[in-house]
Structure 1
Amino acid sequence: MTRPETLQASSKPNYSSPDILRQFYQRLFPFRPLFQWLNHGPTPQPDFQNREFAFVLPGGAYIRYQSFLSADLFKKQCVQMTPERFEIGPQYSINPRDRKQLRKASSFRPVMKELVFDIDMTDYDSIRTCCSKAAICNKCWHFIIMAIKVVDTALREDFGFQHILWVYSGRRGAHAWISDKRAREMDDAKRKALAGYLVLAMSGEQGKKISIKRPLHPHVDRSLKVLNPYFQDEVLAEQDPWQSAEQAERLIRLLPDKDLTAALQKKWDSMPGRSSNQKWADIDAVAEAGHLSTLSAKQLVDVKQDIRLEYTYPRLDAEVSKKLNHLLKSPFVIHPGTGRVCVPIDTRHLDSFDPLGVPTVTALLQEIDEWESKSGNMSDEEKAKVQDWQKTSLKPYVEYFRGYVAGLLKEESKGKRSREEVAIEGLNGMEF
């Protein structure tokens, strides 16, 4: 399916109706693994209890500084208030609900939160041709796939992070949550530096040429190797970004040699209808014919690398990543516009992830009814063993998330044991 996603307002279900949301929170939302993920252990501790949640209610009200002592109390509040979505903030020095009782406001400060990244398809509107604004299709989703591959590789290979959860935003983007203890404890300066490491300055709508230092940084060089196949197959072939004369003008502006651009413009004016693939090949052909005045062959290679990066490299909203106190939409909430669940993305099968195939809340509730109508041969005892999410197409996403959380908790317990062992060794070495 490659058509843009379209939802007609007149026929769109009310995904934010309190009844639908109440059923979703009661029957499908994975509160227990979400609690364990944010708590970093099976029993409640300040990691979760002092964590800020912000509720967005169906009427538009935005309620900050919510906190909960347990997963059950959290679920109870969601069922009662039926938020359209909720956002996750940091763990604070004290319980957020008690902040107004402090004599010094400065005593209330964020102390820990996952490192997060946000990739939004609208940041690609200047280069994607199939869709714009909120619309997406499988063609332009490749930009998100490219971004995830580059960012995930850098986080793992350059920074050594292991516990990275990618989550579909429900409509047109993806979020990364890095839960390694070292990432959670980063201050704002470190978060800003890491975000700066991953961001490349792209040219704006006016086509001002980007300039990347040479020799290429190892991260940029590795990213190019990952992105080159996508540039050829998905960008040039699928997006055809320079097909029209107006679009080709953007490519012309990215080439700094006047003789080269004049010769290319002349060729394209005399041969209308050339595809982006052909125009890309024309650059080398025209250059080899002697139409270079200020660029060497090596410099032209560099310019073409810059253009490939312009059309493939991740476009990150760095502001989301820089601040410890930033809130971000939780995994598994419902996107109110599409009704889709914000499901985790299994990066082992990243290329086959279909954002338009992610289940909607109304479809999931219907799947529960269908399962129960077909389970007539099962005993009540057998039925009771099957949770509602296991009856639906949400099952593989919940199972993936549970596995991710189990890996994180295993790592946390090892770290806790090693700290306890160090403490015991220290006690054994003391004289009393």
Structure 2
Amino acid sequence: MPHSESPGDTVPPPEDSETLPDAPPLDPNPENQEPAAADAEVSKEKLAEMLFDDDDDEDEEYPASSVPEIKNDPTTTSTAPPPPNVDTDTMLAFYQRLFPFRYLFQWLNHGIVPSPDFGNREFALTLQNDAYLRYQSYATADLFRKDILRMNPARFEIGPVYNTNPRDRKTLRGGQMKPISKELVFDIDLTDYDDIRSCCEKANICEKCWAFVTMAIKVVETALREDFGFQHILWVYSGRRGAHAWVCDPRARSLPDDRRRAIAGYLDLIRGGTQSGKRVNLKRPLHPHMARSLEILKPYFADTTLGDQDTFAGVDQTQRLLNLLPDKTLNEALRRKWDSSPDRPSTSKWADIDALAKTGKSSTLNPATLRDAKQDIVLEYTYPRLDSEVSKKMIHLLKSPFVIHPGTGRVCVPIDSKRAEQFDPFSVPTVTQLLSEIDAWDAEHPNTGADTADMEGSAPNDSDIRGNRKLQDYEKTSLKPYVDYFRSFIANLLKEERTVKRERPEETVPVKTEGMEF
């Protein structure tokens, strides 16, 4: 079945899985049998039960490198045309030489020894001819890598972990195969901001409107950490116009759908129509999450909404602003002032609201009501606009980190949330750029080359590079700081995993770990 990309780069499970083409089996082993439909039945529990303290562990799977700073190229411009669609040979070279299979395995497996966390995980592949293959699964990282190289997909999505191998679904009776865990995910897409961004629309983005993604990362990350106690939150650039969050804590992965809906509802604010109707109408006093978010977003409202976007410069947005203010007399005074100065910038219009209010010409104006209305306006124009459907169900699929966006050629790299404001989507490397960087490095260092690393090996460090170890290809490119950040994130996650597994031992699959390339 052809697969069309949704705005948020997520793929809901098809209603009739029997109509989907299955991937041919790699071999007669049970783990490589054909796939089928899943049942998403979950239990109902209270949201509060998920909140408990996590224990710490001083051990590490391997040394965690310091998170590198991703430096922006000041010469990069937002008007540069996107690269053409990536050809199949380029994609194959990327998978062979650059894709971090080893680290993706450790991230999803939650350890270095193959377990059901990886073996029963669903992958969905979009092939170069747009065929869409659901319910693919792999017992080891090496089998996963071999199948990706064989199929050479344009991209692939990650789904839940099931209670059985998803490839065996056709051998099971209906309802027997159930999802049991998956990261809690969130999706931010700039198309959801089209009614408030003046610079771009649809799939187009620029540095000015990317600020909305930065705002969303800061607000959502803060809420997830401070209100729910989650610690392991991986943000990933979608490759074109948005970002995805993967909450990887063991508590988050085991959440049933009702708790996922509760968290999505907790973070949801922007509702209703997109034109003149009021979409934010909060009760006072403000909920602590909203009060905190307001403080985070106020500077962005001044810099982005009023400054870069100059949102209220046009007639339509000026009228919308007036509709959101609570006093008719004040509104009429503002309308007259702005009609007499049609080129008045948004910063001045926003200042006019308080200036005219202080004149006392309106006998009906309540200062507290005006203050509340202005706070609601700030939130309406800056608060995160999440595709909440992505977060509500465990069975939703989400694009994997480090795949290539087929439209832009850019790698879906992790975003360091601590440096979210420094992240520049236009400096993210493209696949053709990365392959050129390898060729350039090899030309300058003719006596060295790439090396392989087994699954148990530690990550490279400076002493290795200065010694006899040959660099892996990704280390020769601008992809290296993003892979290093991902590796550091995994190290911190696995540290907690060992604590959880000591408290609650889990069954592992006795599968031989095969040596494989990065």
- Equivalent residue, structure 1, for 2:409: 339
* 1:35 alignment partner in structure 2: 105
Deviation per residue, 1:120-162 (Å, 9 max, x gap): 0011110011111111111111100000000000000000000
**How many residue pairs are counted as aligned between the two chains?**
415
Q: Is the 8 A contact 2:123 2:159 kept in 1?
A: yes
Aligned ranges 1:5-24 → 2 under 5 Å: 5-7=79-81, 12-15=83-86, 17-24=87-94
Q: 1:303 to 1:90 in 2, by over 3 A?
A: same
Distance 2:215 2:469 in 1: 43
- For residue 243 of structure 2, give the secondary structure of its aligned residue in structure 1: strand
Q: Kindly indicate whether residue 200 of structure 2 is the aligned counterpart of residue 131 of structure 1.
A: yes
In structure 1, which of residues 271, 278, 302 is the aligned counterpart of residue 372 of structure 2? 302
Q: CA deviation at 1:206?
A: 2.4
State the distance in 1 between where 2:79 and 2:385 align: 22
Report if aligned partners of 1:2, 1:137 keep a CA contact under 8 Å in 2.
Answer: no
Q: Matched residues in 2 for 1:380 and 1:365: separation?
A: 13
Give the drift of 1:291: 4.2
Instruction: For 1:166-181, list aligned pairs within 5 A.
Output: 166-181=235-250
| SS at structure 2 position matched to 1:342 | coil
**CA shift at 1:201, angstroms?**
2.6
**Aligned pair in 2 of structure 1 residues 133, 2: CA closer, same or farther (>3 Å)?**
farther
The aligned residue for residue 325 of structure 2 is: 255
Structure 2 residue aligned with 1:194: 263
Measured after TM superposition, the shift of residue 347 of structure 1 is: 1.4
Q: Which amino acid aligns with 1:395?
A: K
Cα contact 1:263–1:291 (8 A) shared by 2: no
1:234-249 matched pairs, under 5 angstroms: 234-249=304-319
Q: State the shift of 1:187 in Å.
A: 0.5
Q: Summarize deviations over 1:270-304 as a string: whole Å, max 9, x none.
A: 12211000000111111122244544101100000
Residue 186 of structure 1: SS of its match in structure 2? Answer: coil
What is residue 82 of structure 1 aligned with on the other side?
152
Aligned to 1:93: 163
Q: 1:45 to 1:213 in 2, by over 3 A?
A: same
- Aligned residue for 1:107, secondary structure, equals coil
| CA–CA separation in structure 1 for the residues paired with 2:393 and 2:175 | 17
For residues 267 and 2 of structure 1, the distance between their equivalents in structure 2, rounded to whole angstroms, comes to 40
1:260–1:293 CA contact under 8 A, matched in 2: no
For 1:333 and 1:378, locate their aligned partners in 2 and report how far apart those are by CA, in whole Å: 27
Q: Deviations over 1:215-260 (max 9, x none)?
A: 1000000001111111111221111001122321111111132111
Q: Normalising by structure 1, what TM-score?
A: 0.93
Tell me, what secondary structure is at the counterpart of 1:167?
strand
Q: Please say if residues 258 and 293 of structure 1, whose CA atoms lie closer than 8 Å, have aligned partners that are also in contact.
A: no
Q: Secondary structure at the match of 1:60?
A: coil
How far has the Cα of 1:105 moved from its partner?
1.1
Equivalence for 1:426: none
RMSD: 1.7
Aligned to 1:111: 180
CA distance in 1 between counterparts of 2:354 and 2:450 reads 71
1:425 matched residue in structure 2: none
Contact 1:5 1:356 in 2 (8 A): no
Amino acid at match of 2:119: Q
TM-score relative to the length of structure 2:
0.78
Report the structure, 1 or 2, having the larger helix content.
1
2:217 to 126, 131, 148: 148
Residues 4 and 135 in structure 1, CA contact (< 8 A), matched pair in contact too: no
Shift of 1:207: 1.8
Please tell me whether the aligned partners of residues 234 and 246 of structure 2 are also in contact (alpha carbons under 8 angstroms). Answer: yes
Give distance in 2, aligned partners of 1:368 and 1:53.
29
Contact kept, 8 Å, 2:232 with 2:249, in 1: the verdict is yes
Q: One-letter code of the match for 2:439?
A: D
Q: Name stretches of at least 5 consecutive residues in structure 2 with no aligned partner.
A: 1-74, 452-466, 506-518
Counterpart among 110, 130, 134 of residue 60 in structure 1? 130
What is the aligned counterpart of 1:270 among 340, 351, 375?
340
Aligned equivalent of 1:413: 498
Change (3 A) 1:202 1:280: farther
- CA distance in 2 between counterparts of 1:349 and 1:173 reads 16
Taking the aligned partners of 2:447 and 2:95, their CA distance within structure 1 comes to: 28
Q: 1:357 aligns with which of 418, 427, 432?
A: 427
Cα displacement (A) at 1:380: 9.1
Match of 1:120 in 2: 189
- Tell which has more relative contact order, 1 or 2 (C-alpha 8 A, sep 6+): 2
Partner residue in 1 for 2:35:
none
- Amino acid aligned to 1:230: Y
Q: CA deviation at 1:372?
A: 0.1
The 3 A distance-change label for structure 1 pair 344 and 245 is same
CA distance in 1, matches of 2:399, 2:387: 14
| Counterparts of 1:206 and 1:340, CA distance in 2 | 33
Query: Is residue 73 from structure 1 mapped to residue 158 from structure 2 by the alignment?
Result: no
Q: Is 1:207 aligned to 2:281, yes or no? A: no
> Where in structure 2 are the equivalents of 1:419-430 lying within 5 Å?
419=504
Tell me the distance in 2 between the aligned counterparts of 1:306 and 1:413.
44
